[in-house]
Chains A and B, each alone.
Chain A
Amino acid sequence: MDPSPILSLKNVAISYKTRKRDVDAVRDVSFDISQGENLGLVGESGCGKSTVAFSIVNFLGPNGRVTHGDVLFKGEQLRGRSEEDLRKLRGADISMVYQEPMSALNPSMRIQDQMAESLVAHRGLSKKEAYGESVAALKKVYMPDPDSVMLRYPHQLSGGQQQRVLIAMAMLNNPSLLIMDEPTTALDVTVEAAVLDLIAELQERYQTATLYISHNLGVVARVSHKVAVMYAGEIVELSDTRAIYRNPMHPYTMGLMRCLPDVDAPKGTRTLHPIEGRVPSPDHLPLGCIFSPRCELASEDCSHKHPDLVEMAPGHQVRCLRSLEWKDAKKIWEMEELAQEPCPDRANPNPDMVLNVEKAKVYYRVPLKTVGGLFGLEKRNFVRASDDVSFFIRRGRTLGIVGESGCGKSTLARAIVGLEPLFAGRIDFLGLDVSKPLSKRTAATIKELQMVFQDPNGVLNPSFSVGDQIAFSLRRFHTVPSNQVRAEVERLLQAVKLDESYYNRLPRQLSGGEKQRVGIARAISTNPAMVVCDEPVSALDVSVQAAVLNLLLEIQNSNNTTMILISHDLSSVRFFADDVAVMYLGRIVEIGPCETIYQPPNHPYTTALLAAVPRPDPDLKSSHIRLSGTVPSAVNPPSGCRFNTRCPFKIGEICEQEEPPRREMGNGHLIFCHYTPEDLKTLKT
């Protein structure tokens, strides 16, 4: 390997001008990236990861600047270089891949023009030469049918394809340095897995130095050779990937690992350890060690002495005063056993059925395309968001519903609580027929069936205080006498681990995790028998995710609440669900108790989903089952087995022509596939 690094940051500090004063967003950041090396930069949001990346090519915007330190690219100082010089580097010798592929591509330009742009600008190629180079680049990223892709506009490509185009564009001029800012965060797990494979392979083949930013430890474990953990604008730990994952030395790094649910650990075997508190804002940094207020291991010294980055082992730097003490103290951090006793009701092996869904169909009408349609001359088309879905849930259990986006998970959830009308089928809840929309349900039914939503920013009405919003629901259902509403709200806030001072706060004064807790408090305020959680943690940082998942589990254990957890994250489903239903394109393809779903034999789709989960373990060789393409349109789903267009184990014509039969695997485990149970057991995973 080249001894002199491609990129070298030395004691870099970056500050932003704000209305009040200058804020130091990043302080004292140093790292090197050599040729062929991939450095992962991880941390929660707001830790300054992207700021560091943008500082390299001076994309900080008019109010940000590098105030201190050196940014050396191939030994040359980049800091303070003119815009003109930097522009020559960007897109040529240094290129970037961004998080949102849709907004990184110009929607009004064909792919060929966008790709040619940087070749014409930087290398002065002719249009024709540029076209050839672009096609070659698309082939490099395994884009099927590159010539037709060249003619398309960005909206005609799927998210995964767009990201491939962006990676191809970044590689066009054979850059020495590639900066990737959360390139897979906006993608589905299955697509993410394929893009990560591609990144790893290109890495191997072209030996480009890469700075890879991600909040996902599993992703970084897959692609990076070295990892730098950032916290509140400082690097707290820097080492090669294996050492970081096997032997983390900074409490923050350990905390990040401990709060991840493990896809291999069944429900009830462990609790998650969230990191309490939140990342401090750069203008209110704590004294001493910046992590000390959230650190469970902080000592007296930590709150007034700022630690330096110290080399603890060869190539392993840690910024912690106490790290020497626990050099070999791995056992402090063993995963503790679940301390909670499950609720006695849960011991009952066959509790009564709470929800029974039979052949539920949720269809949306496709808007009419012709004038004739107004007079019934056009065939009505439907988006079959959920098609003939049947399942049941017993009291006190959690059903996890998983699948890629566009599989109809959320639609199904909304139909169960009554936010979407049912097209056909029947839903029984506590023995009552709830196949009708909300306006026709009685208050008593509505009260028993509540929902926790996904987007923390949309979950609370910005105009009312937290307490008022919980009180609305208490008053509406007369849960408590009206003179006790306030006391009850405070009790609920405590139940979700918020103190009563939150009563008068407005939603904008809360962090994402806190808003989500208030949303949960509101949902449980009516003492519902069942709560439907629609991706409750997917918009939250990992450390906060753990706290919210713990909270949901605690509520379930103490109230024996039945829950549905909709998620695309198979790890959190494993942590929280007793049963799992796998949905694909409006159909359930596999359903059964958790332990049967996470172990073969599986439906091929489930196998592919499980193979795609990024695991925070650099030594795990992930299976190479990958899905190509995306979920087809639900307006005209493929005939026969809907998964046949993407199935890695497709048998043949039978899959295209016949509906897959229902295979009983025992123990309530059902798989809808043409393979017989015996064949399914022999499928290679």
Chain B
Amino acid sequence: MATENLIPQKQERSAGPSASAMAFKSLWKSVKDLAELIFSSPTAVIGMVVVLAWVLVAIFAPLITKYSPLFEDYMHIDKGPFGLHMLGTDDLGRDVWSRVAFGARTILSLGPLSVLVAFVCGCALGLPAGYYGGWVDEAVMRVLDAFMAFPTILLYMIIISAVGASSFNVVIAIAIGGAPGIARLVRALTMDIKTREYVAAAKLRGEPDFIIMLREILPNCRGPLIVDFLLRIGYAAFYIGTLGFLGLGLPPPTPDWGGMVQEGHSHMTVNVWPVLSATLAIVTLVIGLNMFADGLREESMRYQ
């Protein structure tokens, strides 16, 4: 019966330190593979450079700005760029460059955070829908269809006007708006992966369903999900801007790109700088993220 007589039992474990070295090597190799993947696509590289630039600006915002984003310089109101203020000041005399740099912090923390929340919700709905099928699938999907029937921006406006404008609520709104799309994607991937033989093998170990979903299925959806994640951060940045412009974003004085456009657009003819800087910031970040995601997707498709 036993396998023992096949191979003599090993006396001691020999591969202690070398095993961890090998684990490190294989991790290093996957990092290297990813880098190779990114660097073989010029689109992805350009996108990554742009996004990284904004990430650096956000991280080092206090170091690369001379003023607090809230400091009002009464001596210089509505000025174009000059020595003291490299991108000029807005109608309250606040430094536009400071507000753009600190605004990057807002958008780069709220964007990924809200998409992350959306992904958690999307996976929590999509995995069981795809895995169990049948009436679970029907129930989940019909509810999500109802959400998807609303134009996204309308949905955000309804949610924010119901619960009020705050960074927490913006995250919630974007998560609710994004979750149905993600759930659909996860469901489709799950339906494909659940037929694989390693899932059958896990069932033959009597693993509980949630372990199968989290260990056998979800990790193997990661390719398409990572690309979708990046694209959605772009959209989130875009929607946070839109909400800010509609006055539904972060409450004022928080530095927020959408808010800057909103505050500045009424006297754009007097001073275009706050609006122009904030718009360019949104545009470059969104395009950067899209290029990165697209490049990554194309390049990883080419491997298959």
Given A454-B197, A463-B219, do A503 and B19 touch, yes or no (CB 8 Å)?
Answer: yes
Would B203 and A458 count as touching, CB distance under 8 A? no
Q: Which residue of B lies closest to A507 (CB)?
A: B198
Would B1 and A451 count as touching, CB distance under 8 A? no
Would B26 and A465 count as touching, CB distance under 8 A? yes
B143 within 8 A of A: no
Q: How far is the CB of A143 from chain B (nearest CB, A)?
A: 34
For B200, give its contact among A451, A476, A486, A524 (CB under 8 Å): A451
Would A559 and B1 count as touching, CB distance under 8 A? yes
Contacts of B26 in A (CB 8 A): 465, 504-506
Task: Tell me the residues in window 3-49 of chain B with beta carbons closer than 8 Å to chain A beta carbons.
Answer: 3, 5-7, 9-10, 13-15, 19, 22-23, 26, 40
B205 within 8 A of A: yes
> Digit string of B262-277 for contact with A (CB within 8 Å is 1, else 0)?
0000000000000000
Given A559-B2, A559-B3, do A504 and B205 touch, yes or no (CB 8 Å)?
Answer: no
Contacts of B196 in A (CB 8 A): 458
Would A503 and B15 count as touching, CB distance under 8 A? yes
Cα A19 to Cα B215 in complex, Å, equals: 33
A656 within 8 A of B: no
For B204, give its contact among A438, A465, A503, A504 (CB under 8 Å): A438
Would B204 and A419 count as touching, CB distance under 8 A? yes
B90 within 8 A of A: no
Cα A433 to Cα B215 in complex, Å, equals: 30
B109 within 8 A of A: no
Given A473-B205, A476-B207, A501-B22, do A527 and B3 touch, yes or no (CB 8 Å)?
Answer: yes
B206 within 8 A of A: yes
Q: How far is the CB of A237 from chain B (nearest CB, A)?
A: 35
Q: How far is the CB of A491 from chain B (nearest CB, A)?
A: 6
Task: Tell me the residues in window 212-232 of chain B with beta carbons closer than 8 Å to chain A beta carbons.
Answer: 215-216, 219-220, 222
Would B205 and A477 count as touching, CB distance under 8 A? yes
> Digit string of A410-422 for contact with B (CB within 8 Å is 1, else 0)?
0000100111000
Given A443-B206, A476-B206, do A461 and B216 touch, yes or no (CB 8 Å)?
Answer: yes
Q: How far is the CB of B304 from chain A (nearest CB, A)?
A: 12
B201 within 8 A of A: yes
Given A453-B201, A504-B26, do A491 and B9 touch, yes or no (CB 8 Å)?
Answer: yes
Cα A477 to Cα B202 in complex, Å, equals: 12
Contacts of B15 in A (CB 8 A): 490, 500, 503
Q: Which residue of A lies closest to B206 (CB)?
A: A446
> Digit string of B258-300 for contact with A (CB within 8 Å is 1, else 0)?
0000000000000000000000000000000000000000000
A295 within 8 A of B: no
Task: Tell me the residues in window 482-530 of chain A with beta carbons closer than 8 Å to chain B beta carbons.
Answer: 486-487, 490-492, 494-495, 500-501, 503-506, 519, 522, 524, 527, 529
Given A463-B219, A529-B1, do A453 and B197 touch, yes or no (CB 8 Å)?
Answer: yes
Of residues A461, A463, A490, which shows the largest number of chain B Cβ atoms within 10 Å of its Cβ?
A461
Cα A441 to Cα B220 in complex, Å, equals: 28
Cα A492 to Cα B220 in complex, Å, equals: 26
For A472, give its contact among B7, B14, B203, B205 (CB under 8 Å): B205
Total of A-B residue pairs, C-beta within 8 Å:
104
A106 within 8 A of B: no
Would A463 and B220 count as touching, CB distance under 8 A? yes
Would B40 and A19 count as touching, CB distance under 8 A? yes
Cα A682 to Cα B40 in complex, Å, equals: 69
Contacts of A460 in B (CB 8 A): 198
Cα A559 to Cα B5 in complex, Å, equals: 8
For B197, give its contact among A438, A458, A501, A503 (CB under 8 Å): A458
Contacts of A317 in B (CB 8 A): none
Would A461 and B13 count as touching, CB distance under 8 A? no
Would A459 and B198 count as touching, CB distance under 8 A? yes
Would B203 and A438 count as touching, CB distance under 8 A? yes
Of residues B200, B202, B216, which shows the largest number of chain A Cβ atoms within 10 Å of its Cβ?
B200
> Digit string of A436-462 for contact with B (CB within 8 Å is 1, else 0)?
001001010010011101110011111
Cα A469 to Cα B215 in complex, Å, equals: 11
Q: Which residue of B lies closest to A532 (CB)?
A: B204
Contacts of B200 in A (CB 8 A): 414, 419, 451, 453
Would B201 and A459 count as touching, CB distance under 8 A? yes
For A495, give its contact among B3, B202, B219, B220 (CB under 8 Å): B3
Q: How far is the CB of A410 from chain B (nearest CB, A)?
A: 11
A23 within 8 A of B: no
A555 within 8 A of B: yes
For A455, give its contact among B2, B9, B197, B216 (CB under 8 Å): B197
Contacts of B6 in A (CB 8 A): 495, 554-555, 558-559
Cα A236 to Cα B26 in complex, Å, equals: 37
Would B13 and A491 count as touching, CB distance under 8 A? no
Q: Which residue of B lies closest to A441 (CB)?
A: B206
A176 within 8 A of B: no
A15 within 8 A of B: no
Contacts of A519 in B (CB 8 A): 201
Contacts of B216 in A (CB 8 A): 461
Would B10 and A487 count as touching, CB distance under 8 A? yes
Cα A477 to Cα B205 in complex, Å, equals: 8
A560 within 8 A of B: yes
Cα A612 to Cα B3 in complex, Å, equals: 38
Would B7 and A451 count as touching, CB distance under 8 A? no
Q: Which residue of B lies closest to A443 (CB)?
A: B206
For A522, give its contact among B23, B201, B206 (CB under 8 Å): B201
Contacts of B10 in A (CB 8 A): 487, 490-491
Contacts of A477 in B (CB 8 A): 205
Given A19-B40, A487-B10, A529-B1, do A446 and B204 touch, yes or no (CB 8 Å)?
Answer: yes
Contacts of B206 in A (CB 8 A): 438, 441, 443, 446, 476
Q: How far is the CB of B120 from chain A (nearest CB, A)?
A: 19
Contacts of A559 in B (CB 8 A): 1-3, 5-6
Given A461-B220, A504-B19, A504-B22, do A451 and B13 touch, yes or no (CB 8 Å)?
Answer: no
Given A527-B2, A555-B6, do A417 and B204 touch, yes or no (CB 8 Å)?
Answer: yes
Cα A494 to Cα B78 in complex, Å, equals: 76
Contacts of B202 in A (CB 8 A): 461, 472
Cα A51 to Cα B215 in complex, Å, equals: 39
Q: How far is the CB of B3 from chain A (nearest CB, A)?
A: 6
Q: Which residue of B lies closest to A483 (CB)?
A: B13
Cα A555 to Cα B19 in complex, Å, equals: 28
Q: Which residue of B lies closest to A472 (CB)?
A: B205
Can you show 21 pairs from A to B with CB atoms below 8 A apart? A414-B200, A438-B206, A441-B206, A446-B204, A449-B204, A450-B204, A451-B200, A454-B197, A459-B198, A465-B23, A472-B207, A473-B205, A487-B10, A487-B13, A492-B3, A495-B3, A495-B6, A500-B15, A504-B22, A504-B26, A559-B6
10 residue pairs, one from A and one from B, having the closest CB atoms: A463-B219, A453-B197, A458-B197, A504-B22, A461-B198, A458-B196, A446-B206, A558-B6, A476-B205, A495-B6
* Additional 4 contacts, C-beta under 8 A, given A469-B198, A529-B1: A458-B197, A491-B7, A519-B201, A527-B2
Chain A residues packing against B (C-beta within 8 Å) = 19, 414, 417-419, 438, 441, 443, 446, 449-451, 453-455, 458-465, 469, 472-473, 476-477, 486-487, 490-492, 494-495, 500-501, 503-506, 519, 522, 524, 527, 529, 554-555, 558-560
